[in-house]
Each structure stands twice: as structure tokens, then as C-alpha cells.
Structure 1
Amino acid sequence: MKTLIAVLTGCLMLVLLAFAPGATGAEAASRYAANYCKTRYNLCLARCPDRVRCFSRCLTQYKYCVPPAPSLGDLL
């Protein structure tokens, strides 16, 4: 009887954890895109010897930035 109660309690906990509120896939994807694009923007500014001329180019690249699709290596 104790084993049955322990198994049922474990199953209930798994079900509750599965439906717990957390970051959805869309939220995670938007965070990934924002971090990726901001990193590229900062790298673009760091490579510029003359920030005044490069600023508009980097800003345009940041505005139209599209992150690549995640690969299987990103998931591991």
C-alpha cells in the first residue's frame, strides 16, 4: 500500500511540474533573437575604428537582424 501511494504521489508531481508556469517557446525564441542581435551589434561597434561612420551601418544591421535557426548542437 505504501508503494502504491508513493508511485501515485510521484506521478502527480510529474503532472504538476509539466503544467507549471514557465518560459514558453515563443518567449525563449524572442530572448534568443534579442541576445543574438545585440551581441552582433556590439561586435560591429567594436570593429569600427570610426564610430560616427559605422554607427548607422551597425544600427541598420541590428534593425534587420534575423538570427539563424538553432542547430542540434545548440540543444545539447
Structure 2
Amino acid sequence: MSGVDVSKDQKEKQLHTCELCMNTVVHSFGHFQEQIAHLKRENAKLHGELENAKEEQKEQKRILKKKIRALEKKVAERYK
């Protein structure tokens, strides 16, 4: 050979290490996919809550404008 003798045990250890690494990568990838899915669901939920808050704010603003107009009318009638 070329002066380098690789025993069968070393090859098996390398294969085992590679298999272990691959399993770790696959496990990590699956875990990251779960986290991404969870974050996407959370993001969608937060967007929904934000839209609800915007709608509530618009409604409150509309009600306050209506009350202000009523008060302005009342004050104007009082000081005629």
C-alpha cells in the first residue's frame, strides 16, 4: 500500500461517528422545523390580535369623535 494502513475498526468508528452526526443533524433539523412552525403560528396569532386592536381603536376613535361633536353642539347651543 502507500504506507498508510487504515484498520477496519477505524473505518467503522468513522462510519459510526458520521451516522451519529447525521442523526444529530436530522434531529436538529426536525426540532428547528417544529420551532419555525410554532413561530409562524404565533406570528399569525399576533397579527390577528393586532388587527383586532386596530379595529377596536378605530371604533373607539369613531365613538370619541361622535361624543366630541355632541359636546361641541351642546356648547354652541348654550352660548347662542
The TM-score, its normalising length taken from structure 1, stands at 0.38
The TM-score, its normalising length taken from structure 2, stands at 0.37
Higher relative contact order at CA 8 Å, sep ≥6: structure 1 or structure 2? 1
